[in-house]
Homo-oligomer: A and B are copies of this chain.
Amino acid sequence: MRRRDVIRGLGVGVAAGAAGTLARPALAQSNPKVSWRLTSSFPKSLDTIYGTAEIFAKYVAQATDNNFQIQVFAAGEIVPGLQAADAVTNGTVELCHTAGYYYVGKDPTWALATAVPFALNARMQNAWMYYGGGVDLVNNFLAKSNIYALPCGNTGAQMGGWFRKEVNTVADLNGLKMRIAGLAGNVLAKLGGVPQQLAGGDIYPALEKGTIDATEWVGPYDDEKLGFYKVAPYYYYPAFWEGGAMLHLMFNQQKWNELPETYKGIVKAAAQAANCDMLAKYDYVNPQAIRRLAAAGAQLRPFSQEISQAYFDAAQQLYAELTAKNQDFKTIYESMTAYRRDAYLWFQVAEYSYDTFMMVQQRGNKL
């Protein structure tokens, strides 16, 4: 391969600015000193999610000989967790690590960056984001809030949550007070439930006293730490509202624009690596945690077909309402669902049949 071909090869998918740096003297902009603050929406106790921001910051520091330092702050150290994006919009910090669906109060479109009921699983979310135009669509929308965002982490399909009593029919949801946020709460309300917003630390006492009847959180590894199994033993699955919840790094638009092209490249690669890393960690720690929870008395229950289908149908009603009145939501939602149709056809073939066979072997104690 000739030198010219190599350069052309390297140019595949490179932004014009980055390709342009090939011609510049190497030392012209090598590793300028940059020091940024990242506010996480998560406490340090959620080491999987919080730790992902630290891994990202480590990758960036390593790639720049420690000249680009990103200091990670836990929720509450600079601003409360649910105000992380606002702190980026107004320039209090240069970036945050957060979940878009925390901001549905501003506009439900924010939720499409993370997960909405019956959306994509974790692998599909990556496919749509990186190759299906998802990253650009989300950024077209977030630009209105002075934000540029990159995918950075995924929990995989979450658990449906902890219930004090069994729920078998839609009638059992009537009046059910459940800690559940965002669009998932809107769907629950359509079925007669009463969604509640509670910060992490307030959930356990509310559940213990019966102020709420149920709560959803994340999955076995994170849920175990909060001890819900002691006061609400029925552990339902899955979280139909979080089939593959994706986290994002959100950057203040001016600060992002000011970065040298090489630093933008480093940040993009580091974010994608950390994105991969977080899911790998969850997929490693959750299997052990579900065993411990079951041993400690958690009662695993799938949602009934009646509840699952009613929840799906109510979600479709909500999407009909949202797409009728919100053009931003409609544009992104329709891109995601167009991919989802084909993806859930293909995944039935090789992936699902492989897993199904393996699960049958697992149940037969053959693994």
Which residues in A have some Cβ–Cβ distance to B below 8 Å? 1, 6, 9-10, 12-14, 18, 21-22, 26-27, 29-31, 33, 51, 54-55, 57-59, 61-67, 69, 71-74, 77, 118, 121-124, 126-132, 156-160, 219-220, 237-240, 243, 261-262, 265-266, 268-270, 272-273, 275-277, 279-288, 290-291, 300, 302, 308, 312, 316, 337, 339-359, 361-362, 366-367
24 pairs from A and B in contact (CB 8 Å cutoff): A1-B74, A1-B77, A6-B71, A9-B57, A13-B55, A14-B62, A21-B66, A27-B65, A30-B31, A63-B63, A121-B358, A122-B123, A123-B156, A130-B281, A220-B346, A243-B355, A272-B277, A273-B276, A283-B343, A340-B358, A341-B362, A344-B355, A344-B359, A348-B362
CB pair A126 B279 closer than 8 Å:
yes
User: B273 touching A65 by the CB < 8 A rule?
Assistant: no
Which chain B residues border A275 with CB–CB below 8 Å? 276
Q: Please report the C-alpha to C-alpha distance between residue A163 and residue B160 in the assembled complex, in whole angstroms.
A: 42
A31 CB contacts on chain B under 8 angstroms:
26, 30-31, 65
Q: Establish whether residues A266 and B62, one from each chain, have CB atoms under 8 Å apart when the complex forms.
A: yes
Q: Which residues of B contact A10 (CB under 8 A)?
A: 54, 57-58, 61, 69
Given known pairs A273-B272, A284-B128, A308-B357, the reply for A9 and B54 (CB within 8 Å) is yes
Chain B residues, CB < 8 A from A128: 284
Q: Which residues of B contact A67 (CB under 8 A)?
A: 26
Known: A237-B349, A345-B290. Contact between A277 and B130, CB under 8 A? yes
CB pair A354 B240 closer than 8 Å: yes
